């Protein structure tokens, strides 16, 4: 792939927001987000058409599709992944998967504390992982996990280091983290992964040729299909 | 004459399907990847399990449909996907994939009503069926008797007041320990049984609506009180009651509407006793019966493509900001 023509379409729909962006070597050319009414499936395709027109790019010029692979809210996540994979399949181009947690850590990469993205996982839980600053960005230093806010708070206390919490999970459970020593919450303005960040992170990955084929891209759920749902199905005899 | 091609995508429940159909209703390919084995261990369709599976399967299934049809993406003129009714998480996978292909291939998109697609499944094999028709749509989620007066013009004569007929099959099968899915299990067992038990035929002579909940309960109570009765006789007697109710109402609908024939569709239309009975009553009444191949009774994307093309000619494309509706109703 010639670097001079690399155009990346980034898609982000793993939280209550949905958005997309187009960019490449020149940086982000256009991006859009919407957050009202959880209309991921309705909004995403028109958004792609919009950013394409704003960036004056034909969809056939896109060379890579990057997508937030989660963890996040399952229905929105699937809308983004199904759309992204179909675009890559339809154009015959490779993909780059980006973690939602990486996307949240990226805008606060200049913070020297422990960086902890925390995404609202619903059902009283949070998706999270630990990151630390490294030259040129951040590095994940723990496996992505799903925990209750209580457990995450206990982890942070045990860790002992100063920490920066970022994400809609940090916002939702702000009360539980407010009084922890050394723990600070990031601005709500960076509480959602941005499609522009996907394009930027994917660009770095593309230079390292970290591509996957559409058939290899897997969403990250972190939870087995709802156990309660399965139990209900088993009991539904009469 | 140039033929236009529609790519159909179906992900409303537990089948991931794609198909290429021509504007003359010729099916060039119909690929169905069933998740039945995936859900069998849970005794029914688990929505989250289904949605996850669709994400991984939808594009490979589309690719396979194109290969089997011997066509290239540039040959496709319309992409159609089931927009409802069904499981919302599953529907959104197919709708999202279809809209993405519409964007990158520069072709129109249309969302299809799954129930309307079932009504049209009989036209896949007999494109020239004469209207008006009565269509009996029977599946795990639906039991609907429809009067089809003209193309895309129909009215609902009756539907189930409680359980869908396929649901009754699944529940009875589960009680009898026959596993999931229940329809084929009872059908196969009934072949070896005798119709020895007089189960109730709920509201058989009362309008066009159906009720199967009481029949299901009667079967379960009977087995509780008579545990020694051979299971195959229970299966045969239950199936006979179901089929008699369905065919009695369909027959009355044929008389009332003056229809030229009877079609059946939906997963339960794959039932061998129902297929036989529909054939018999139409033969007796001198009417045309049409029973699609089993592959077109159960969920498939050929019916989605074919109906999508028909709707596209009538109403034009859907906007890319349209979504899915898990509770979409049938209306002509
Ligand atoms: Zn169906």
Tell me the pLDDT tens digit for each residue of B129-179. Answer: 999 999 999 999 999 999 999 999 999 999 999 999 999 999 999 999 998
Q: What are the angstrom distances between the C-alpha of B116 and each of B82, B85, B142?
A: 10, 10, 12
- State the average pLDDT over residues B103-117: 98
Please tell me the distance from the alpha carbon of residue A211 to that of residue A215, in angstroms, as a whole number: 12
The reported pLDDT for the residue numbered B291 is: 93
CATH number of the domain enclosing B112: 3.30.420.40
Residue from B200, B204, B205 nearest B219 by CA: B200
B138 and B270 housed in the same domain: yes
B107 and B195 housed in the same domain: no
Asked if A237 lies within 8 A of B63 by C-beta distance, the reply is no
- Tell whether the model's pLDDT for residue A237 goes beyond 60: no
Chain B: nearest CA to A141, how far in angstroms?
28
Residue B321 covered by a domain: no
Asked if B97 lies within 8 A of A237 by C-beta distance, the reply is no
B114 and B138 housed in the same domain: no
**Better pLDDT: A128 or A4:** A128
Of A151-160, B104-113, B195-204, B226-235, the least confident: A151-160
The reported pLDDT for the residue numbered A4 is: 57
pLDDT band at A227 (very low <50, low <70, confident <90, very high): low
From chain B, the residues in CB contact with A220 under 8 A are none
CA of B174 to the centre of ligand 1 (A): 21
The whole-chain average pLDDT of chain B stands at 95
Q: Is B35 on the interface with A (CB under 8 A)?
A: no
Chain B: nearest CA to A208, how far in angstroms?
26
Asked if A42 lies within 8 A of B323 by C-beta distance, the reply is yes
Residue B325 covered by a domain: no
B153 and B254 housed in the same domain: yes
B67 and B155 housed in the same domain: no
Closest chain B residue to A93 measured between Cα atoms? B104
Residue B239 covered by a domain: yes
E strand residue ranges, A84-123: 95-98, 114-120
Domain range enclosing B93? 5-119+297-315
Chain A: nearest CA to B225, how far in angstroms?
17
Of A229-238, B302-311, B312-321, the least confident: A229-238
Of A101-105, A133-137, B15-19, B112-116, the least confident: A133-137
Q: Which residues of A touch B (CB under 8 A)?
A: 39-46, 48-49, 59-60, 74-75, 78-79, 81-87, 89-91, 214-215, 218-219, 221, 225-226, 229-230, 233-234, 236-238
Please tell me the distance from the alpha carbon of residue A199 to that of residue A20, in angstroms, as a whole number: 9
CA of B277 to the centre of ligand 1 (A): 21
- State the average pLDDT over residues B221-229: 95
Q: What are the angstrom distances between the C-alpha of B73 and each of B6, B101, B266?
A: 11, 9, 30
Chain B: nearest CA to A41, how far in angstroms?
6
Asked if A83 lies within 8 A of B51 by C-beta distance, the reply is no
CA of B16 to the centre of ligand 1 (A): 12
B31 and B136 housed in the same domain: no
Chain A: nearest CA to B134, how far in angstroms?
32
Q: How many domains does chain B have?
A: 2
pLDDT band at B41 (very low <50, low <70, confident <90, very high): confident
Residue B162 covered by a domain: yes
B252 and B160 housed in the same domain: yes
Which domains can be identified in chain A, with CATH numbers? 3-100+193-237 (3.30.420.40), 101-190 (3.30.420.40)
From chain B, the residues in CB contact with A78 under 8 A are 51-52, 55, 89, 92-93, 96
B154 and B251 housed in the same domain: yes
B164 and B251 housed in the same domain: yes
3-class secondary-structure state, position A101: helix
B133 and B53 housed in the same domain: no
Nearest to A75 among B42, B92, B101 (CB): B92
Asked if B96 lies within 8 A of A79 by C-beta distance, the reply is yes
From chain B, the residues in CB contact with A225 under 8 A are 46, 48-49, 52
Of A231-235, B284-288, B303-307, B316-320, the least confident: A231-235
> Chains A, B: CB contacts under 8 A, how many?
121
Element (H, E) at B60: helix B47-69
CA of B140 to the centre of ligand 1 (A): 8
The two beta strands, B5-10 and A145-147, are unpaired
Please tell me the distance from the alpha carbon of residue A45 to that of residue B89, in angstroms, as a whole number: 17
Asked if B96 lies within 8 A of A233 by C-beta distance, the reply is no
**B79 Rama sector, left if φ>0, alpha if ψ -120 to 50, beta otherwise:** beta
- Tell whether the model's pLDDT for residue B1 goes beyond 60: no
Asked if A75 lies within 8 A of B51 by C-beta distance, the reply is yes
- Tell whether the model's pLDDT for residue B229 goes beyond 80: yes
Residue B329 covered by a domain: no
Please tell me the distance from the alpha carbon of residue B38 to that of residue B15, in angstroms, as a whole number: 11
Residue B266 covered by a domain: yes
Residue reference for tokens 């951040």? A138
Token pair of A123 as six digits: 């059902």
Please tell me the distance from the alpha carbon of residue A188 to that of residue A166, in angstroms, as a whole number: 8
Residue B38 covered by a domain: yes
Residue B124 covered by a domain: no
From chain A, the residues in CB contact with B89 under 8 A are 74-75, 78
Provide the 8-state DSSP code for B129. Answer: P
Closest chain B residue to A43 measured between Cα atoms? B321
Closest chain A residue to B55 measured between Cα atoms? A82
Nearest to A87 among B52, B63, B104 (CB): B104
Chain A: nearest CA to B331, how far in angstroms?
23
Beta carbons within 10 angstroms of residue B3's beta carbon: 12
Contacts of A127 (CB under 8 A, 6+ apart): A70, A71, A72, A100, A101, A118, A119, A121, A144, A145, A146, A169, A222
B145 and B111 housed in the same domain: no
B86 and B202 housed in the same domain: no
Q: What are the angstrom distances between the C-alpha of B71 and each of A107, B5, B8, B74, B239?
A: 45, 9, 14, 8, 43
Provide the 8-state DSSP code for B43. Answer: T
CB B136 within 8 A of CB B34: no
Closest chain A residue to B319 measured between Cα atoms? A46
pTM for the complete prediction? 0.95
The reported pLDDT for the residue numbered A205 is: 95
pLDDT band at A3 (very low <50, low <70, confident <90, very high): very low
Chain A: nearest CA to B16, how far in angstroms?
13
The whole-chain average pLDDT of chain A stands at 92
């Amino acid at each position: 792939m010639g670097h001079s023509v690399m155009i990346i379409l980034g898609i982000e729909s793993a939280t209550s927001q949905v958005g997309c962006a187009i960019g490449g070597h020149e940086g982000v050319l256009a991006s859009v987000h919407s957050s009202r009414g959880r209309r991921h499936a309705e909004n995403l395709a028109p958004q792609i058409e919009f950013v394409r027109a704003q960036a004056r790019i034909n969809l056939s010029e896109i060379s890579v599709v990057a997508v937030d692979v989660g963890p996040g809210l399952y229905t929105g996540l699937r809308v983004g992944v199904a759309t992204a994979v179909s675009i890559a399949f339809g154009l015959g181009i490779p993909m780059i998967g980006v973690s939602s947690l990486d996307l949240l850590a990226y805008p606060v990469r200049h913070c020297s504390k422990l960086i902890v993205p925390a995404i609202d996982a619903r059902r009283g839980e949070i998706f999270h992982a630990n990151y630390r600053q490294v030259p040129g960005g951040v590095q994940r230093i723990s496996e992505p996990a799903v925990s209750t806010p209580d457990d995450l708070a206990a982890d942070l206390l045990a860790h002992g280091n100063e920490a920066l919490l970022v994400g809609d999970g940090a916002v939702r459970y702000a009360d539980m983290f407010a009084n922890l020593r050394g723990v600070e919450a990031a601005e709500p303005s960076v509480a959602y992964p941005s499609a522009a960040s996907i394009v930027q992170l994917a660009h770095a990955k593309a230079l390292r040729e970290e591509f996957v084929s559409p058939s290899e891209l897997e969403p990250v759920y972190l939870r087995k299909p709802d156990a309660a749902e399965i139990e209900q199905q088993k009991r539904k005899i009469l | 004459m140039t033929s236009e091609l529609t790519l159909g995508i179906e992900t409303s429940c537990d089948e991931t399907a794609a198909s290429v159909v021509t504007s003359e209703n010729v099916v060039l390919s119909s690929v169905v990847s069933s998740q039945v084995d995936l859900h069998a261990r849970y005794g029914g369709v688990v929505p989250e399990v289904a949605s996850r599976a669709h994400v991984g399967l939808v594009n490979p299934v589309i690719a396979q449909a194109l290969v089997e049809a011997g066509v290239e993406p540039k040959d496709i003129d319309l992409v159609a996907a089931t927009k409802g009714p069904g499981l919302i998480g599953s529907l959104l996978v197919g709708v999202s994939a279809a809209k993405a292909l519409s964007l990158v291939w520069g072709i129109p998109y249309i969302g299809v009503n799954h129930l309307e697609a079932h009504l049209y499944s009989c036209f896949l094999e007999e494109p020239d069926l004469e209207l008006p028709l009565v269509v009996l749509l029977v599946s795990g989620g639906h039991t609907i008797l429809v009067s089809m007066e003209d193309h895309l013009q129909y009215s609902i004569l009756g539907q189930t007041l409680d359980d869908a007929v396929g649901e009754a099959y699944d529940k009875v099968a589960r009680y009898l320990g026959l596993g999931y899915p229940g329809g084929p299990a009872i059908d196969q067992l009934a072949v070896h049984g005798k119709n020895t038990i007089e189960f109730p035929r709920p509201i058989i002579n009362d309008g066009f609506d159906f009720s199967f909940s009481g029949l299901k309960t009667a079967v379960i109570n009977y087995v509780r009180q008579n545990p020694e009765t051979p299971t195959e006789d229970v299966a045969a007697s239950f199936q006979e009651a179901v089929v008699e109710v369905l065919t009695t109402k369909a027959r009355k609908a044929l008389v009332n509407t003056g229809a030229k024939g009877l079609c059946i569709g939906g997963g339960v239309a794959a039932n061998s006793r129902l297929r036989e009975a529909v054939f018999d009553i139409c033969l007796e009444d001198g009417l045309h019966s049409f029973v699609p191949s089993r592959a077109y009774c159960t969920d498939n994307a050929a019916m989605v493509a074919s109906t999508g093309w028909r709707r596209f000619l009538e109403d034009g494309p859907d906007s890319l900001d349209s979504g899915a509706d898990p509770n979409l109703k049938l209306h002509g």
